[in-house]
Amino acid sequence: MSAASAGLTHEVVSIDERGRPSTLHIPAERPLTVYVDKRELVTLMTLGGAPEALTLGYLRNQRLVRALDDIVSVQVDWSVDAVAVVTRNGIADVEARTAKKVVTTGCGQGSVFGGLMDEVETITLPPDARLAQSVVYRIVDTIRTQQSVYKQAGSVHGCALFSNSGELLYFVEDVGRHNAVDAIAGLMWLDGVAGADKVFYTTGRLTSEMVIKGAQMGIPFLLSRSGTTQMGHMVAGKVGMSLLARCSGTHFLLLAGAERLVFEPGLLEPLNAPRRVPVA
């Protein structure tokens, strides 16, 4: 396994509306062509912060490799913008399995091989998983204070994995949210982390692609500061996932899986509570 993280930002000179020059940091973006057993599979446009994890997560979420033990090595070489993956026994029926491609709503036009709904019917998330309202607020506050490329340069998406007590386990940014979720899937694989008692947060929309990937990772809770789509909502209902959208401050909209969220009414003031007037 290589460790080939690349520079995350790039300096450029900008000129404002008054003609004044200044130095500006913008996110890096570079191609990473994935070769599996010397066969070119796909080129991912990425920030380059976690290329090995991204590659592993991509193969996992595309259902092309079923177990980490099936992979012998992952080697990234930025001099040729490529990653070489060697598997133990190859990918069975790789031509047929990669023939059908669906362009998704992911930033930068993400794509998935095969039908979007393949295997969704077979996924069962843990029925007894619960999440406290106070933990939702802890997660939102942790993301708010997290040091990030977004705060420095903007124009990226972030994804994070939390325990169901609100502990931050992984935080990954990339130019597309589909890359960030794949990178976290790869990190979970490498570290042997299961998803049953985890919470996934994304800055991006809760589309069908995001919900399916979360379900494949076995995660019962998906949070976003953005909204959802009709198909994302439908898939969440099928797999029994809780969707919380528009998470900001103490506000959120619970759109699916309401039985999993433990409300704590004492956390919020009543809507009709009198205003507190400071005493001089």
* pLDDT of 35 over the 50 cut: yes
pLDDT > 70: percent of the chain:
89
Q: How confident is the model at residue 92 (pLDDT cuts 50, 70, 90)?
A: confident
Give 114-125 pLDDT, tens digit per residue: 565 667 888 889
Question: What value does the mean pLDDT take over residues 157-162?
Answer: 96
Q: How confident is the model at residue 165 (pLDDT cuts 50, 70, 90)?
A: very high
CATH 3.40.140.10 domain span(s) along the chain:
131-266
The pLDDT of residue 276: 60
Say whether domain 23-117 belongs to CATH 3.10.20.10: yes
What 3-state DSSP class applies to 247?
Answer: strand
Q: How confident is the model at residue 102 (pLDDT cuts 50, 70, 90)?
A: low
The pLDDT of residue 218: 96
* pLDDT of 97 over the 60 cut: yes
Cα dihedral value 89, 94, 97, 99, nearest 10: 170
* pLDDT of 152 over the 90 cut: no
Which of 142, 101, 116, 88 lies closest to 210, judged by CA? Answer: 116
Superfamily (CATH) of domain 131-266:
Cytidine Deaminase, domain 2 (3.40.140.10)
* pLDDT of 85 over the 60 cut: yes
The pLDDT of residue 107: 47
Cα dihedral value 191, 155, 40, 2, nearest 10: -40
Tell me the average pLDDT of the chain: 90
Give me 268's structure tokens: 């919020």
CATH 3.10.20.10 domain span(s) along the chain:
23-117
Q: How confident is the model at residue 108 (pLDDT cuts 50, 70, 90)?
A: very low
Contact 189, 56 (CB under 8 A): yes
pLDDT > 90: percent of the chain:
76
Question: What is the model's pTM?
Answer: 0.87
Give 207-230 pLDDT, tens digit per residue: 999 999 999 999 999 999 999 999
